[in-house]
Amino acid sequence: MNMNDIIIKKRDGGTLTQAEIRWFIKGYTEGDIPDYQAAAFLMAVYFQKMDKTETFELTNAMRYSGDTIDLSGIRGIKVDKHSTGGVGDKTTLIVAPLAAACGVPIAKMSGRGLGFTGGTVDKLESIPGFRTSMEPEAFLRQVNEIGISVIGQTAHITPADKKLYALRDVTGTVENLSLIASSIMSKKLAAGSDAIVLDVKCGHGAFMENRQDAEKLGEIMCEIGRAAGRRTVAVITDMNQPLGHAVGNSLEVIEAIETLKGKGPADITALSMKLAGIMIYLGGRVKTAAEGEIMARQALESGAGLAKLESFISRQGGDAGVVTDYSLFPQAALTREILADKNGFVHAVDARAIGAASQHTGAGRATKEEQVDLSAGIVVHKKVGDKVSKGESLASVYTGSRSRLTNAEKEIRGAFTLSDEKPEVPELVKEVLGL
């Protein structure tokens, strides 16, 4: 086989065979195919698209490009959860302990983020002492003993995706349905859980800006999951404004703790109940997702979810004192309030601009090598539909230097649109697919 022929075939709208896709993935993973040919291939896929069979084949080729995790040593139905990425999305930190408190084993591998904020692993590392790497035996033992473990994805899982995702990130080829679906699902399938709940974000702060595309992405990921024998549900949710108030690593952990104390923002609480409810249902603890939601709420109200978070933190070496004393988190050197310059209602809080501002504070990384500032970020005080008076704080910025503060402030001011009329608040959960 010849890479140039494969690129030309896709460039001209052809359908690739299983053998061609497997050959490309193997060759690229092993370093036999150079980045410039892989980049040309990705751009051809971006414009010509892949059909369903090609997308399935690409997923499988990437899934088996490295190690796969065997979770059969863990008792019960293991349920994984994944978000396609949003601004202020800290739901894993809430739903994982809630579902675990309800008897659903959570053996989760998470990533570090590129872009707006860190990923779940970075957020967890803002807890002093918290360890996100562990030997496989210890990982399985912890889930059997306390019902939950979340660790960083090892380098040996889906190495093909690791290389390709990094290349897509710098070649304008991220936003393609087949490439996103195969990237996410290859990792989820390799990670070994029996069922998967996907939070597919839709809106200006997400890869999929419109609902139709988000639904298509959700549908294809559900099909890939089911074809691999995993029960898979996709929830389509709004990402036009940030989720909750906090954007940034330690700031998001604090908001997740507040939510588990029953004092979280309404949107993040509602979405967490929905996702945890589906996880509890897929985990076989109840007969319907609605019953799962009731069970999740009980675990929230009884404090069982918070207690599970505390034992999870302690077990992974973290200081569980953070649950009651937020001063134990890294503290930002500088803070500033961004004040409203007129009266009105918040018409929009542009999630993408808040995400960019968060990156300016140092909370996100632009390249894999960059360190994130775990104390940095933004707390958005006013959300769509809220009334604002001139001089009231729209947002607080937390960062480490004056230049970062100035850049973030400019971006945050541009993110807010105020109007005289109270606007409609966008629906948070738009649809559930695959239940």
3-state secondary structure the chain: CCHHHHHHHHHCCCCCCHHHHHHHHHHHHCCCCCHHHHHHHHHHHHHHCCCHHHHHHHHHHHHCCCECCCCCCCCCCCEEEEECCCCCCCCHHHHHHHHHHCCCCEEEEECCCCCCCCCHHHHHHCCCCCCCCCCHHHHHHHHHHHCEEEEECCCCECHHHHHHHHHHHCCCCCCCHHHHHHHHHHHHHHCCCCEEEEEEEECCCCCECCHHHHHHHHHHHHHHHHHCCCEEEEEEEECCCCCCCEECHHHHHHHHHHHHCCCCCHHHHHHHHHHHHHHHHHCCCCCCHHHHHHHHHHHHHHCHHHHHHHHHHHHCCCCHHHHCCHHHCCCCCEEEEEECCCCEEEEEECHHHHHHHHHHHCCCCCCCCCCCCCCCEEEECCCCCCEECCCCEEEEEEECCHHHHHHHHHHHHHHEEEECCCCCCCCCEEEEECC
Instruction: Supply the minimum distance, in Å, between the C-beta of residue 87 and ligand URA.
Output: 14
| 216 assigned to active site | no
Instruction: Supply the minimum distance, in Å, between the C-beta of residue 359 and ligand URA.
Output: 16
| 187 assigned to active site | yes
User: Which of the residues 10, 22, 187, 297 is marked catalytic?
Assistant: 187
User: Which of the residues 78, 81, 163, 168 is marked catalytic?
Assistant: 168
User: Between residues 180 and 306, which has the closer beta carbon with respect to ligand URA?
Assistant: 180
CB-nearest residue to ligand URA: 183
| 327 assigned to active site | no
| 347 assigned to active site | no
Instruction: Supply the minimum distance, in Å, between the C-beta of residue 220 and ligand URA.
Output: 13
User: Between residues 85 and 248, which has the closer beta carbon with respect to ligand URA?
Assistant: 85
Which positions touch ligand URA (CB under 6 A)? 84-85, 165, 174, 179-180, 183-184
User: Which of the residues 110, 149, 183, 186 is marked catalytic?
Assistant: 183
User: Between residues 54 and 310, which has the closer beta carbon with respect to ligand URA?
Assistant: 54
| 82 assigned to active site | yes
User: Between residues 96 and 296, which has the closer beta carbon with respect to ligand URA?
Assistant: 96
User: Between residues 169 and 337, which has the closer beta carbon with respect to ligand URA?
Assistant: 169
Instruction: Supply the minimum distance, in Å, between the C-beta of residue 206 and ligand URA.
Output: 10
User: Which of the residues 82, 163, 360, 383 is marked catalytic?
Assistant: 82
User: Which of the residues 161, 267, 350, 373 is marked catalytic?
Assistant: 161
User: Between residues 182 and 259, which has the closer beta carbon with respect to ligand URA?
Assistant: 182
Instruction: Supply the minimum distance, in Å, between the C-beta of residue 179 and ligand URA.
Output: 6
Instruction: Supply the minimum distance, in Å, between the C-beta of residue 123 and ligand URA.
Output: 16
Q: Which residues are catalytic?
A: 82, 161, 168, 183, 187
